[in-house]
Every structure is written in structure tokens, then in C-alpha cells.
Structure 1
Amino acid sequence: MRTRRTFSVGGFLSSGFLWLYALIAIAPLLLMVLNSFRTMPEMAQSPLGLPQSLNFSSYQKAWITADFQTYFVNSIFVTVASTILSTAVSLLAAYAFARTKSKLFGAIEATFLSGLMLPVYLAVLPLFFLLESLGLVSNLWSLILVYAALGIPFSTFVLAGFFRQLPIELDEAARLDGAGPFKTFLLVHLPLVRPAIATVIVFRFVPVWNDFFYPLILIRDQNAYTLPVGITRFFGEYQTDWATLFAGLTLATIPLVVLFLLATKQIVSGLTAGMSK
């Protein structure tokens, strides 16, 4: 009886602490969203008050007048394209490493994983000259290729671990049904590693979406700016217009929130897979 009561109290305290932490973490985001619907006179009178009415003029100003739509579309294109490319290459590589017993493939896998130990910022100078010689500087494809290459080591490491957990009997059964290696990969293994794919996508999408360093180095054309670089210019022009600033920050946050809401279940499954074994 005492053990049950102790467990209940501990669970109650843990839940209370987590709810408190969630409220503290969400409060700044909620304040940002609420202030994006307010006018400057309202915020001057009551900085922490509620909006008197839903005013969308700040969003219109940020999206059209401040050219926020250009930064947003560029970030969407770069992030989605680099994540898809990185995940596709990593899936094929991880499947080959997990299902092929060969010293050559083991050496290639070690080469892939060595990318996790290299500080990527040390390669900025040769990378810049390489992309400049290819005519890709100030081109969004330079960012896509760089981000995709940087994401392959981590994605391959995660996906190969999931593929190795799948029983070899699946391959044998598919082979008896006449399926080749690629068909087995596409129809049998790929659906089973969806939690890992979701985890990899989220872990690549977020840092690429928020990255400031590479767009600052590789992009010179203002029309090719992504959100992190564009927001610095945005802040410089609208530093006294708080409603427009909050509207722009809210727009920049929406894709991350939507991604986490859609992929939460798969992320949890991917992070906890194998814990009960």
C-alpha cells in the first residue's frame, strides 16, 4: 500500500513538473503569436495584454512589403529538397551496409560514418572555392547539395541500425516470392522503418531550416536569401515595428510546429524502438 502511494505521489510530481516546464516553454511562443495580431498602440499601452481584435495587417506587411515570402519560399525549397535528397541516399546506403556482409562495404560504411567526427566548418573555404568553380555560389542548389552531403553520415548511421534489426527471414521470404533486392527494399523493408525515416527527416529538417552560417557564406543575391539570413535584414528594417516582427517570426515558426505535430508519433516510435528488446 505504501509503495503504491509513493508511486502515485512521484508520478503526480513528475507530471506537475513536466506541465510547468511545458507552460514555461510555450509562454514565449504564445506571447509572440498574440502580439503579432496587435497594433503598436496596443503594445505600447499593455505589452503583455491580449489583442483587442485579430489584426492581420502585420502579416500582410511582413509577407508582401518586407519580401518575407521570398525568404520563406527559398527556405522551404532548400530544406525540403536537401532533406529528401539526403534521406534517399542514406536509405539506399544504409540498406546496402545492413544487408551486405563484405569487408569492402564495411570500409565504405566506416568512411561514411567518419563524417560524424569531422568539424564541418573547417571545410568552408575549400567548399566555397569548389562551388564557385562550378558556378553554384549564390545559387540555392549550392545549399541543397551542401546540406544533403552533411546529413548523409548521421542519417546512414540511424537507418542502418534499424535495417539491422529486421530479421533476415524477411529477405528469404521475399526472395522465394520472386522479389529482387530493390523490390524487397521498396515493398518489405521500407514500410517497416518508417519511424526511423520520420526521425531522420525531423533531425535534418530543423537544423537546415534554422541554419544561418552556410546561407551567409554561399549566398550573395538578396533574392536567394533563406529565412535565417533574411530575418537579420528584416530586423534591421522593422526594428521599431514590433507587430510586424512578431508576425514574421510566427511565419518562420509555423513549418516547424506543423512538422512536429505530424511526425510526433513516428518520432517517439523511432526513438524508443528496440528499448524493450
Structure 2
Amino acid sequence: MRPSLSFRIIQHTTGYLFAILSLYPVFLMVSSSFKTTLEIFKEPLALPKKLSFAAYEKLLDQLPFGTYLWNSVFVSVISVVIILISCSLAAYYIARTSFKWNGALMFIFLLGMMIPIKLGIVPMFLLMRDLNLTNSPWSLIAIYSAMGIPLGVMILSGFFRTLPKELEEAAKIDGCTDMQILRRIILPLMRPALGTVMIINFVTAWNDFFFPLIFIQSELKKTIPVGMMSLFGEYASDWSTLFAGLTLASLPMIVMFIIASRQFMDGMTAGAVK
């Protein structure tokens, strides 16, 4: 039974309303980056009277923004690559191998989601100090990888179980090893799940403020969220430059989500309809 016209109008109107409410803060951020700080305080919701790139020029002059951007890209990309490789191997083993401690192993991964990692910040700091990883991007990569693996294993193992085993049996008859089956047959079919894990963990690593603040002291090794803190003064803040920095910092995430959005939506809804 098809929904009535009036119901569809209400449905679409509600959807567009929520979309506008969600996108308006982004629009306000971008438009404010073309204003002066005085304009932002006088007319915070108005459009800029003229497009001024002074805030962007000031941002690049005052801060090593390119270095912050590279540090964030490096940490986020390496963390996501480690998570995808580790989770693919672990989830494939859990989903396709039956052994006595299969459930216990999965429960150990789930514990990583249940226990807040920030509770162990003191032992983690001591561990990174002993490993000479403090003030190094590799300390952040290790933490973000550990944070992302439990959720990634849970998502990917669920997807692995939905794939028919006949595909692997046919590949084994053709002489493929387990690694070849995983790389050539299973992973191409897992793109929606891999896209979901990639986006979730990339956004987590990109936006994190807490761990870079604790583990990174050198100015040239800071990521964007911590590096932008220098724009907040004790008595005043340069809001136009801050909005310019936020606009530039959000571009990689927007581009990545546009590229992988189809895979992300397929991954979120897979299994809902059989």
C-alpha cells in the first residue's frame, strides 16, 4: 500500500527541515570565515557584506596550519589503514573459524568498546613514555588503532557471516589460499562495511582533542584541534580566523564522506532487508 500524497508531503518537508537544521551551522561557519570579527559580533547571522579572504591569509601567517593539516592527515590515515587491515584479518578468523574460545575472543574485543579508554590515561602515558613515543604522532596512531579495532571487528565479523561460504569453497577448489580468498573475493564484497569502519574511525581520529593535548608538546607536531587553540586568547579571540581554520579543517572530512557516502549508507543499512 502506497502512502498518501499528504503523508509524503509531510515526510519530505520534515526531511528537508532536518537537513536545513543540520547544514545551517556549517553554512554559518563558512560565511563567518569571510567576515571580520567585528562583523561577526554585530551581525552574527547575516551574510558577509563582501567576500574577504583576510581571515584565511591571517590564519596561514599566524599559524603553521599546513603542518597541523599534514599531522592530522598522517595520524588519521595511518590509523585507519592499521584498523582496516587488523580488523579484516581478525574478523575473518572469528567469523569463519569454529573453535572453543571463539565467543570469548569476541567478548574480549567487545570489552574494548565497553571500557572507556580515557580511564587508563595515566598508565597509557607511562607506557608511551617508556616506549619513547611521547611527543610523537605514533603514540596517537597506537591509541586510535586500539580504540577503533573493537568496533571494526564487530562490524566486519557480522558482515563476514552474511556472505555465503560457497564462494570460499569454490575458490579453494580453484587452488586459492585463505589469504587469496580474503584479498580477491571477500574484501571486494565487503566494501560497504569497510567504508563504514573507515569513515567512523577517520572522523574519530581527525576530531580528537584529548589525546593530542596529552601526548603532543611540540608545536610542529600538533594536530588541527590542538593547534587551533592558540587562536583563543585569555581576554579575546580572533573568531574570523578561527572560523577560517575550522572551514579548512572540515574540507578533508567532507570530501572523504562525499566519496565514500554510498559505501557508508550501504554499510549502515546492510542486513536490514533480506
What is the TM-score with the length of structure 2 in the denominator?
Answer: 0.93
8 Å CA contact 1:74–1:226 kept in 2: the answer is yes
Structure 1 pair 61–21 and aligned structure 2 pair: CA distance change class (3 A): same
Structure 2 Cα separation of the partners of residues 123 and 235 of structure 1:
29
Q: SS state of the match for residue 194, structure 2?
A: helix
Pair 1:109 & 2:92 matched:
no
Deviations 1:170-212 (A, max 9, x none): 1110011111100000000000000000000111111211111
8 Å CA contact 1:238–1:245 kept in 2: the answer is no
Equivalent in the alignment of 2:46: 49
1:147 CA drift (Å): 0.6
1:114 CA drift (Å): 2.1
Pair 1:72 & 2:69 matched:
yes
Task: Determine which of 21, 24, 49 is the counterpart of 2:21.
Answer: 24
Equivalent in the alignment of 2:246: 249
Letter in 2 for 1:180: T
1:42 CA drift (Å): 4.8
Equivalent in the alignment of 1:87: 84
Structure 2 Cα separation of the partners of residues 144 and 238 of structure 1:
35
Letter in 2 for 1:118: I
Structure 1 pair 250–191 and aligned structure 2 pair: CA distance change class (3 A): same
8 Å CA contact 2:231–2:237 kept in 1: the answer is no
Structure 1 pair 32–102 and aligned structure 2 pair: CA distance change class (3 A): same
Flag structure 2 segments of 5+ consecutive residues without an equivalent: none
1:106 CA drift (Å): 4.0
Structure 1 pair 168–49 and aligned structure 2 pair: CA distance change class (3 A): same
8 Å CA contact 1:78–1:143 kept in 2: the answer is yes
Q: SS state of the match for residue 236, structure 1?
A: coil
Structure 2 Cα separation of the partners of residues 220 and 237 of structure 1:
20
Task: Determine which of 175, 180, 183 is the counterpart of 1:178.
Answer: 175
Q: Count the aligned residue pairs.
A: 274
Structure 1 pair 39–122 and aligned structure 2 pair: CA distance change class (3 A): closer
Query: Percent of counterpart pairs with the same letter?
Result: 44
Structure 2 Cα separation of the partners of residues 161 and 194 of structure 1:
14
Equivalent in the alignment of 2:225: 228
Task: Select between 169-178 and 118-127 the one with higher mean Cα deviation.
Answer: 118-127
1:237 CA drift (Å): 7.9
1:86 CA drift (Å): 1.2
1:123 CA drift (Å): 1.3
Structure 2 Cα separation of the partners of residues 175 and 238 of structure 1:
68
Equivalent in the alignment of 1:210: 207
1:11 CA drift (Å): 1.8
Structure 2 Cα separation of the partners of residues 123 and 104 of structure 1:
27
1:63 CA drift (Å): 2.5
Structure 1 Cα separation of the partners of residues 8 and 257 of structure 2:
26
Structure 1 Cα separation of the partners of residues 41 and 261 of structure 2:
38
Pair 1:187 & 2:184 matched:
yes
Deviations 1:95-140 (A, max 9, x none): 1111111114443333222212212112111111011001101111
8 Å CA contact 2:64–2:220 kept in 1: the answer is no
Runs of 4+ in 1 over 6 A off after TM superposition: none
Structure 2 Cα separation of the partners of residues 188 and 180 of structure 1:
11
Structure 2 Cα separation of the partners of residues 128 and 17 of structure 1:
47
8 Å CA contact 1:86–1:148 kept in 2: the answer is yes
* Cα RMSD after superposing both structures: 2.0
